[in-house]
Amino acid sequence: MTDRYSSFTRTPIGKKVVSTLGLPNPVPLRRYRAGEPPLHGPALIASAAETPTAQSDVANAVQNALLAAGVDARESLAPT
């Protein structure tokens, strides 16, 4: 499905209208292609756990699913 507004903002007249009226200029979204990594960097997993060191069951499930998909899923952005 095409996004008519995004397509319009990439035309010369669309660029002029967007800048003149102060409209938002959408950023093209990165789409997954076979053979590419799912993400270009690590995924940060966080939750509102009761203690600072404990993750919720949901966060653990999300992290495990991401790890199974080959994503570098971390609890902190500290270098590994």
pLDDT value of residue 1: 45
Q: Quick check: helix, strand or coil at residue 62?
A: helix
The strand ranges marked E within 1-80 are: 43-44, 73-74
pLDDT of residue 46: 81
Average pLDDT over residues 27-40: 84
Phi-psi region of 22 (alpha: psi -120 to 50; beta: other; left: phi over 0): left
Would you say 18 and 9 are in contact if contact means Cβ atoms under 8 Å apart?
yes
Tell me if the pTM is above 0.85. Answer: no
Mean pLDDT for the stretch of residues 24-52: 82
Q: What is the pLDDT of residue 2?
A: 63
In this prediction, residue 14 has a pLDDT band, given cuts at 50, 70 and 90, of very high
pLDDT at 52 over 60: no
